[in-house]
Amino acid sequence: MTIHDTAWRAFASDNYAGVLPEAMAAIAAANGGHQVSYGEDVYTARLQEVVREHFGERAEVFPVFNGTGANVLSLTSVLPRWGAVVAASTAHVHVDEGGAPERMTGLKLLPVPSPDGKLTPDLVAREAWGWGNEHRAQPLAVTISQTTEMGTLYTPDEIRALAEFAHERGMALHVDGSRLWNAAAALGVPFREFTTGAGVDVLSLGGTKIGLLGAEAVVVLDPDRATGLRYLRKATMQLASKMRFASAQLLSLFEDDLGVRTAAHANAMAARLRAALEAGIADGSLPGLAFTQDTAANAIFATVPPDAAERIRKQVRFYDWDTARGEVRWMTSWDTTESDVDGFAAVIREELAGR
């Protein structure tokens, strides 16, 4: 029984979108009969093979339930109890996970301000110090988000520079890839080029935001740096008994480049929205609108007069990002249509023109 309005659309988050039809079909195909539980099934075995094809022959995949769990597991696997992680101050692990990384594992987050959500070696260096000082949590890992919480994108060379900086100091590099498929589509290069080949040690591979149902994964790229996942996953309540259904969904993203194609569509819808709004800025029909970040994938950040933002939000839901400066975030998803974009742009134009 359907009890929601299936025609309702929003630009608040790609989490609002439903499940990809292909992922639903993968769940159905994996159903029926018996398979060994806790990951000893044929779907998880096949997922391991596919992940190695895309990330390298040493890669190991561990399906989990959600992105926070993937991040907690990843960071725990590369740190001792006295370890600390350098992160951008806007990072999801710092802002949006309820303190889970620190509560669950005892690690310490060392946030660094970054106007575009990206870290550089110079920024990491602000907190990467104090090794051997017993009074300071030891900075032993760096975490970055790809794409970032500000919608920006790391190039392979930028990731490689961070990995080299970290490794030279005995630190590991983790990537929160909740929108890794959008990054791959935007970069136009294989996963390996901006993960394993760039020196990333452990990766949180997103599934939910690209259209899966409760299926994410930790991908260990360097088993020498990230250890104990087999035990940590169970200890942190992220071990699925019927793992075949998570693995089958993740597999569907790799088949026929579904994940990258789907992400490319979401990115294209964001580009369409931005182009429409840029045209309005140019012709003067969108007074008070300005962009605050590049639109590299499927997120648009802009400043809008608060009164107009409230009127727009009454028609199409979205989130404030920085209320002090009137900054908002508009997200597109795998099922955003051109009609959705054009209708939203029309609402923005109407409300800004009538402010």
Rounded Cα gap, residues 26 and 6, in angstroms? 22
CB 88 within 8 A of CB 145: yes
The pLDDT assigned to 105 comes to: 86
Per-residue pLDDT at 120? 98
Domain extent, residue 148, equals 21-256
What is this structure's pTM? 0.97
Distances (CA, A) of 101 to 86, 108, 254: 13, 8, 29
How far is the CA of 255 from the CAs of 181, 220, 222, 252, in angstroms?
13, 21, 25, 5
> Of 199, 221, 256, which residue is a domain's last?
256
**Contact call for residues 321 and 327 (beta carbons, < 8 A):** yes
Burial class (CB in 10 A: 0-12, 13-18, 19+), 254: middle
Within 13 Å of residue 24, how many CA atoms lie on the same side as its CB? 4
Q: In this structure, are 234 and 266 located in the same domain?
A: no
| Residue ending a domain, choose from 232, 256, 280 | 256
Q: Are residues 171 and 316 in the same domain?
A: no
Nearest CA among 240, 334, 270 for reference residue 23: 334
212 with 267, same domain: the answer is: no
User: In 3D, which of 30, 85, 8, 60 has the Cα closest to residue 212?
Assistant: 30
> Residue 10: what pLDDT?
97
In a domain, 91, yes or no: yes
Looking at the structure, do residues 266 and 196 belong to the same domain, yes or no?
A: no
pLDDT in tens, the chain (355 residues): 999 999 999 999 999 999 999 999 999 999 999 999 999 999 999 999 999 999 999 999 999 999 999 999 999 999 999 999 999 999 999 999 999 999 988 899 999 999 999 999 999 999 999 999 999 999 999 999 999 999 999 999 999 999 999 999 999 999 999 999 999 999 999 999 999 999 999 999 999 999 999 999 999 999 999 999 999 999 999 999 999 999 999 999 999 999 999 999 999 999 999 999 999 999 998 999 999 999 999 999 999 999 999 999 999 999 999 999 999 999 999 999 999 999 999 999 999 986 5
Q: How many domains does the chain have?
A: 2
Give the HSE-up count for residue 168: Cα atoms under 13 Å, Cβ half-sphere: 11
> Do 208 and 277 reside in the same domain of the chain?
no
CA 24 to chain centre: 21
Same-domain status, 123 and 198: yes
User: Looking at residue 82, what is its pLDDT?
Assistant: 96
Same domain (yes/no): 159, 287 = no
The answer to whether position 9 is within a domain reads no
Three-state secondary structure string covering 58-77: CCEEEEECCHHHHHHHHHHH
Same domain, residue pair 137 and 160 = yes
CATH number of the domain bearing residue 269: 3.90.1150.10
Q: Write the CA distances from 216 to 100, 213, 227, integer angstroms.
A: 17, 9, 19
CA atoms within 13 A on the CB side of 130: 16
Say what the pLDDT of residue 355 is. 56
117 and 232 both lie in a single domain: yes
Q: Which of 256, 286, 321 is the last residue of a domain?
A: 256
